[in-house]
Amino acid sequence: MPIVTLFSGSFCSNNLVKEKLLARTGYQLVSDKEVALAASEISSIAQGKIERAFSAKMSVFNKFTHEKARSIVYLRLALAQILSRENLLIAGFSAQLVPGEMSHVLRVCLIADMKSRISTAVKDQGLSAKEATKLIHRQDEDRAAWVKNLWDVSDPWDASLYDIIIPMGKKAVEEAVVLVEENLAVDVLKTTEASKKIVEDFLLAANVEVELAKEGHYMGVNAKDGSVTLTINKQVLALGKLQEELKSIATRVKGVRGVNTKVGKDFYQADIYRKFDFETPSKVLLVDDEREFVQTLSERLIMREMGSVVAYDGESALDLVKSDEPEVMILDLRMPGIDGIEVLRRVKKSNPQIEVIILTGHGSDADRKICMELGAFAYLHKPVDIDALSDTLKRANEKVQARKK
């Protein structure tokens, strides 16, 4: 039977439609939680971090680590493996991962007018109209960012993405379910050998994507009958060398018979393609209230391909630790509000895996002793030689990566 994908706005009766469809068709539900869990098991990335890919808000370190791209790569592979099963109802963000070429898929979108959605949110969640509006807009931003990332389409409800768009403010749940059931019976949606082959091609492309990601490369991958095409969408300084490296990686994947590369529509933009370097620190949090000093230090580290972001006080630093989990911190001691020693104490209690390098211009021998006893990786004085600091950062990162392995 055809696969059904169900993508919807929040407060559009999507859960009721989903439950009735499952009861009447006998289909198996594939939820975002299931796909994220499978992706986590494949990648060893925490499920919560995988699920963060569904959010419009990205980690402050994302431009250095490509965390969102890496999560999507593993989500795609997890779903590609699931697609070998039959009678599936894929609901949520994962529905958008199903390739458009698959002909035995009925793509359904549920959306209602804003007034109806606000009314439902007020009734179901006990929110004020203002709170409901804010919540719906935020959830729509997540859906819009997800669709834009995968399909380069700005409107998540764009008709080109779906076979049926059901206006839930105007149709009852029963009507929506009947409409889906009627369309499932259409001959064009029947599973064929050709459509099964597209599932196999999708799985092969997903496996190639994962192998490329393991080597720090993120790009478009398509497969057909064992022939793989890699699309480079950013300018590269040595295109021929990159192409050879990509082909070498892709041909290691079982089932790949040939590899072609091409440049995409964004190749001639100003951004330069850079392979992600797993050996270089990419999640460094700099904490110092001397703004000019710490901004300059961040720029110098970025020039050395080290990803860093800045916090100007202890409270902001602790918030970033909670939301974005840096791997290495460079921490000043003397700051207004929460001082460096207290930040170190709290970080080592809540996130002991973070390596903390103290960099201070006013510390004493007693401060040094306290910091090292609290678990600091190193204790350095200002002014610091940038090469010495870079070396310390690399050694701290090596400890972090070794612990992960």
> What pLDDT is attached to residue 4?
97
Least confident of 117-121, 300-304, 328-332: 300-304
Helix (H, G, I), strand (E, B) or coil at 235: strand
> What pLDDT is attached to residue 302?
86
Q: What is the bridge-based pairing of β-strands 28-30 and 355-360? A: unpaired
Residues 6+ positions from 270 with CB-CB distance below 8 Å:
235
Residues 6+ positions from 170 with CB-CB distance below 8 Å:
112
> What pLDDT is attached to residue 234?
75
Q: Which domains does the chain have, with CATH numbers?
A: 3-189 (3.40.50.300), 193-263 (3.30.1340), 284-404 (3.40.50.2300)
CA 194 to CA 136: how far, in whole Å? 40
> What pLDDT is attached to residue 238?
75
pLDDT tens digits along 56-72: 998 889 888 889 999 99
Q: Six-digit token pair at 95?
A: 């529905």
Average pLDDT over residues 33-48: 96
Q: Six-digit token pair at 342?
A: 């207290």
Question: Does pLDDT of 300 surpass 70?
Answer: yes
Cα→Cα distances 266→20, 71, 220, 299, Å: 43, 22, 12, 26
Reported as a pLDDT band with limits 50, 70 and 90, residue 251 is very high
Amino acid at 332: D
Average pLDDT over residues 358-368: 91
> What pLDDT is attached to residue 142?
97
Reported as a pLDDT band with limits 50, 70 and 90, residue 267 is low
State CA 286 to chain mean position distance: 23
Reported as a pLDDT band with limits 50, 70 and 90, residue 271 is low
What share of the chain in percent tops pLDDT 70?
A: 96
> What pLDDT is attached to residue 237?
66
Mean pLDDT, the chain, whole residue set: 93
Angle (CA) 136-137-142 rounded to 5° is 95
> What pLDDT is attached to residue 239?
81
> What pLDDT is attached to residue 98?
97
Name the pTM for this structure. Answer: 0.85
